[in-house]
Amino acid sequence: MAVTLQWHHCQLRQGHGVASGRSPSSPYPAGTIALQAPLFAARGIDLSPYYPGTLNLGFDDTRWQLRCPDARVERLHWTDRHPPETFSFWSVALRWQGQAEPVAGLLYWPHPETKRAHHQDPDRLEVLAPWIPGIAAAQALELGVDPARCRRLRPRRLQAQLLEALKFRVLASQEAFFGGFEHQGRLQEAALRHWLQGVLPQALALSDAELALVLERARGLYCETARHGAGANGIEGDKTGGCSGLD
């Protein structure tokens, strides 16, 4: 059964120049992809259709949740400079204004927990694709992914939705509202997540630290005993008309 791709606007960003070997300070002049490709081929992953370098794609207000890759290689020892790394790959596609047909690519994911250097920001993805002349000037660049396996989380949007969901509950109950989630002044994350399951389950994708931030903002904004007039500390209001936060 063919997968219906979900498309996400993105921007081409400057990378480390290590995958392609273009950076003069790279310890791998040939590029890491060229070094790794024969080892991946021996494990049934053919990178020959793709340029030996990655496109670094940036997405506003994004953290990706990736699961069930098309291929995964555990603890690949491809260099003596650092310990083995684990890699996963997903089939994706690229399209942009003026391109007649999407271009097939491969999402290249060195697992951060096994990667010693050249880490990517959480809003970035690296994609292998054929050489595309003029891609740097492409307008309205989009990445197509399988939404069941590559989910885009919008943390700021979700935090804003949660803050809105808390507003009238905190206004009505004041400090008593927080009693169910705190013990001796400490947040009980499990209790909060249990409550969220029935109120705003999409907010469960937020980290414990992000949830704690929203709770403190709600206390500061809506409790009479707290200081009033403080901003939401980077949490933006929801302008999406109730969007779930997962594209």
pLDDT score recorded for residue 122: 82
Q: Match 């020959």 to its residue by tokens.
A: 48
Contact 240, 164 (CB under 8 A): no
Nearest to 102 by CA among 46, 142, 148: 142
What is the rounded end-to-end Cα distance, in angstroms, of the chain?
Answer: 22
Domains of the chain: 6-153 (2.40.30.30), 155-222 (no CATH)
Cβ partners under 8 Å of residue 72, min gap 6: 86, 87, 88, 89
pLDDT score recorded for residue 4: 94
pLDDT score recorded for residue 140: 81
State whether residue 75 is helix, strand or coil.
strand
pLDDT score recorded for residue 222: 95
**CA-CA distance, 143 to 124, in Å (whole number)?**
12
- Residue 106: Cβ within 10 Å count: 21
pLDDT tens for the 247 residues of the chain, in order = 678 999 999 999 876 556 755 655 566 656 789 999 999 999 999 999 999 999 999 998 899 999 999 999 999 999 888 899 999 999 999 998 877 799 999 999 999 988 776 566 788 999 999 998 888 766 789 999 999 999 999 999 999 999 999 999 999 999 999 998 998 889 999 999 999 999 999 999 999 999 999 999 999 999 988 654 444 445 544 433 333 333 3
Q: Bridge partners of 106?
A: 91, 128
pLDDT score recorded for residue 81: 84
Q: How far is CA 49 from CA 37, 93, 110, 150, in A?
A: 11, 13, 19, 22
